[in-house]
Amino acid sequence: MSDVSSVYLVGAGPGDPDLLTVKAQRLLMIADVVVYDRLVSSAILDLIPPGKARIFVGKAPHNHHMPQEEINDLLVSLAKSNHTVIRLKGGDPFIFGRGSEEALYLSRHDVPFEVVPGVTAASAIGSALGVPLTHRGLSTSVRFVTGHCRADAELVLDWDGLADPDTTIVFYMGLANLPQLSKKLIAAGLPADTPAAASTKATGPDQRQCVSTIERLPALCVKLEFKAPVLVIIGQVVSLAEHLNWQGLVYEDAVLDGEEEHSASA
């Protein structure tokens, strides 16, 4: 028997255990050790059979339970101790999940690995909100963009390229920089009344969401006290939410500063 076991980089999806792939669920049954992230829901962790070792390595802004370098070393150490390792990551491992960094590290240390894709947040949340990421006549493309940089550095993005009215923009981890995202896109030419939506704790029992415009959305998320992680969808496709709201979700709203005066003078 080889003294090196495989590491399975598994996408756990957005949180709803019903959106976990059949393969991911099967692998959870055979794992010796599950190394999991902060964004893996408790409902999915409950699927892990009793007696399986669990190691939490979650990271939050300014609070890394375990630095990435230590996570990489841990995966190699467990595999070379002949443990079957599931590296369980929220969403999809290869979409803003640092799964490719871990895979490269495993490869360099001669540890066999397999990547099991998961339902990424953009697809799951768009579907949940009734917002198709593309729609004939409204959006011909979609772009996934990170909404934050390391060490809180200013976002350097192709704002002119992003401000395309025929493109749907999905910002992952966009809450902290949402005011900047809004201002930069409007300055680059995206109309201020472009429809925009935000969702937090998506696909879970305490999911919350709001639908507004790119100009209004940052203040609305503050007023509604949305907490990270928040996914933001911007584009004309968001205008379909009220028509495709198949779950009957409540789209939250709030009166923002200045709106009372505007309303009174109208």
Report the percent of the chain where pLDDT is more than 90.
82
pLDDT score at 265: 40
Report the percent of the chain where pLDDT is more than 70.
92
pLDDT score at 156: 85
What topology does CATH give the domain 7-116? Cobalt-precorrin-4 Transmethylase; domain 1 (3.40.1010)
What mean pLDDT do residues 228-254 have?
Answer: 94
pLDDT score at 60: 61
pLDDT score at 100: 97
Asked whether residue 1 carries a pLDDT value surpassing 50, the answer given is no
Q: Partners of 210 in the beta sheet?
A: 198, 252
| CATH of region 121-260, choose from 3.20.20.150, 1.20.1250.20, 3.40.390.10, 3.30.950.10 | 3.30.950.10
Core vs surface per residue 162-181: b (16+ CB within 10 A) or e: bbbeebbbbbbbbbebbeeb
Asked whether residue 5 carries a pLDDT value surpassing 60, the answer given is yes
Asked whether residue 264 carries a pLDDT value surpassing 90, the answer given is no
Q: How confident is the model at residue 6 (pLDDT cuts 50, 70, 90)?
A: very high
Phi-psi region of 151 (alpha: psi -120 to 50; beta: other; left: phi over 0): left
For the record, the structure tokens of 20 come out as 């976990």
Clarify whether 152 is annotated catalytic: no
Domain ranges (residues) in the chain: 7-116, 121-260
Q: How confident is the model at residue 262 (pLDDT cuts 50, 70, 90)?
A: very low
Q: How confident is the model at residue 155 (pLDDT cuts 50, 70, 90)?
A: confident
- On whether the CB atoms of residues 231 and 171 are closer than 8 A, the answer is yes
pLDDT score at 63: 55
Active-site position among 37, 92, 184, 201: 37
Active-site position among 23, 32, 52, 59: 59
What mean pLDDT do residues 147-162 have?
Answer: 80
pLDDT score at 202: 86
Clarify whether 166 is annotated catalytic: no
Whole-number mean pLDDT of the chain? Answer: 91
pLDDT digits (tens, 9 = 90+) for 173-217: 999 999 999 999 999 999 999 999 999 988 888 899 999 999 999
Q: Please state, as a whole number, how many other Cβ atoms lie within 10 Å of the Cβ of residue 35.
A: 23
pLDDT score at 254: 87
Domains 7-116 and 121-260 equal at CATH topology level: no
CA angle 195/198/203 to nearest 5° reads: 130
Q: Rounded CA gap, 255 and 174, in Å?
A: 22
pLDDT digits (tens, 9 = 90+) for 100-154: 999 999 999 999 999 999 999 999 999 999 999 999 999 999 999 998 766 566 7
